[in-house]
Amino acid sequence: MTEKSATPPNRPEPDLDPAGDTDEPAFEWMKPSGAAASKPAPGKDNVAEPGERQGRRAERLAAERRTDERRTDERTGGATAVGRPAGADAYREALPTSALHVRPPQEEVERRNAEREQAANAKPVAPRVMQVLLAICFPVILLVLAVRAVTSPLFLWAEYNRPGFPGDGYGFNIDDRMTYGSYAVDYLGNWSGPRYLGELVNRSGEKLFKAGEVSHMADVKTVMLSSFAAGTLLGIVSLVAILYLRRRSTGGVRRGLFAGSIATLVIIIGLGVLAVLGWEQFFTEFHQIFFANGTWTFSLQDTLIRLFPAQFWSDAGIAIGALVLLASLLTLILTWPTRRRRGLPPRTGKAKDSVAGDASAAGGLTDADSSTEAALKGRRFKRRGTPATEAPAETMAVPNAASEPSTDAAPEAASKGASAPAGPAQS
């Protein structure tokens, strides 16, 4: 047979791996100790199939894993991973240290739990700040709006035409008062200078207002424009607070307006009492706050006194107080913390009567019923959307009819609970 001879068709391929495992090292000195003695001699009968080689490889890897697990258990004191039994044929990384399994002192655990509980129960500060701002701005905004409503030609017309308003003894009729008074009121709200009033003349061609009157009206205009600007700024702040509370705090707008209406009522009632006890002193003290002494007193013949007598200012004070009082009462009613607005279940008289009747028939209320009813009565209103801890009256537990009453006063308590009026709980 030469090199050019044809290869026989049934010639077997030479076995290039007589050891039976392609992953085994090529030299004996590279093999672990004991491997050479336990390994069978090479031969054609000892050649393993690919499936057998994979099986032996898996067994060897499993043995190595078990060895690693035993070493890990010995090092960590038998601790194993959560959910894995000791000696399981699963890969588990050895822990770098066993200090992770040491429980901290009890004081440290209690301190951490207290901090975690405090952080969970802590309420955000921003919604509370916005509610306080809304409550503070509300009275000022109402007062500025009421003053703006009084300083209008409509109020002048109502005053000059109402019965009992004192007339002018120096020649002004209602038409003259309405014309000249409208100029003075318009000057307080426009951007004109003192010439707006200083160049006005009467029918005889004389100047209508003196220099002192024009100077005082300029001071009044400064105070009025400043108050209107402050009211506008506070209105913008209130609008921002309302938008923020609508997005971040359910019921925050209602609580802020409710607190603001209460503050407004307290302020307006207090000022009203002071005005009633001494109107002249109250009027004098009010002018001394904003104007210098001697700049706001005039004679009875001056135009300002003839247009705006003392009766006009008392009526203006009553009108401002009435408008503010009416607006604050309306806001108080619309924001009153009812059970529906507080997110509590409705409590009707029919449900209470049925529960009380069942309790009386069964022999009395249990301690759980009494505590639940007391919690419903004493609960403070909270944000709508927070989970209510109280159960409605229909779900109150009633003792079994076969059980005996615990005390003799239980039927009396049940009758009192049935006769109690249904209404919003006091906040």
pTM: 0.56
Q: What does the alpha-carbon distance between residue 412 and residue 391 come to, in Å, rounded to a whole number?
A: 23
Q: What does the alpha-carbon distance between residue 210 and residue 137 come to, in Å, rounded to a whole number?
A: 38
Q: One digit per residue, pLDDT tens: the chain, 427 residues?
A: 555 666 666 666 666 555 555 565 656 666 665 544 455 555 444 555 556 667 777 788 888 888 887 777 776 655 544 445 544 444 555 555 555 556 778 888 888 888 888 877 777 888 899 999 999 999 999 999 999 999 999 999 999 999 999 998 888 999 999 999 999 999 998 999 999 999 999 888 889 999 999 999 999 999 999 999 999 999 999 999 999 999 988 888 999 999 999 999 999 999 999 999 999 999 999 999 999 888 898 999 999 999 999 999 999 999 999 999 999 999 999 999 887 877 778 777 554 555 455 544 444 444 444 455 545 444 444 444 444 444 444 334 434 433 444 444 444 444 444 444 344 444 3
Q: What does the alpha-carbon distance between residue 125 and residue 329 come to, in Å, rounded to a whole number?
A: 29
Residue 209 structure tokens = 């207002």
Residue 142 structure tokens = 């109402």
The CA-atom distances, in angstroms, between 231 and each of 28, 88, 146 are 98, 76, 11
The CA-atom distances, in angstroms, between 57 and each of 61, 87, 181 are 6, 19, 110
Residue 410 structure tokens = 């239980």
Where in 276-405 does DSSP place strands (E)?
Answer: none
* pLDDT value for 111: 87
* pLDDT value for 210: 92
Side chain identity at residue 239, one-letter code: L
* pLDDT value for 169: 85
How far is CA 173 from its chain centroid? 58
Q: What does the alpha-carbon distance between residue 359 and residue 321 come to, in Å, rounded to a whole number?
A: 52
Residue tagged 């992770």 (tokens)? 100
Residue 271 structure tokens = 């000022």
139-156: pLDDT as tens digits:
999 999 999 999 999 999
CA-nearest of 409, 423, 420 to 360 is 409
Residue 49 structure tokens = 């199939």
The CA-CA-CA angle for residues 369, 372, 377, to 5°, reads 125
Quick check: 130 and 256 in contact, CB under 8 A?
yes
* pLDDT value for 72: 74
Q: What does the alpha-carbon distance between residue 61 and residue 40 come to, in Å, rounded to a whole number?
A: 20
237-287: pLDDT as tens digits:
999 999 999 998 888 899 999 999 999 999 999 999 999 999 999 999 999
Three-class SS of residue 302?
coil
The CA-atom distances, in angstroms, between 125 and each of 129, 131, 245, 291 are 6, 10, 12, 40
Which conformational region is residue 317 in: left (phi greater than 0), alpha (psi within -120 to 50 degrees), or beta?
A: alpha
Which conformational region is residue 163 in: left (phi greater than 0), alpha (psi within -120 to 50 degrees), or beta?
A: beta
The CA-atom distances, in angstroms, between 390 and each of 284, 351, 368, 418 are 56, 15, 12, 18
* pLDDT value for 424: 40
Q: What does the alpha-carbon distance between residue 14 and residue 61 come to, in Å, rounded to a whole number?
A: 30
Residue 188 structure tokens = 């307080």
Residue 72 structure tokens = 């890990």
The CA-atom distances, in angstroms, between 245 and each of 97, 123, 259, 382, 387 are 50, 14, 15, 14, 19
* pLDDT value for 381: 41
Residue tagged 């009435």 (tokens)? 322
Backbone angles phi, psi at 354, to 5 degrees: -65, -40
Alpha helix (H) ranges present in 338-409? 349-362, 367-378
Side chain identity at residue 318, one-letter code: I
| b (16+ CB within 10 A) / e for 111-126 | eeeeeeeeeeeeeeee
Residue 99 structure tokens = 């200090």
Backbone angles phi, psi at 201, to 5 degrees: -125, 155
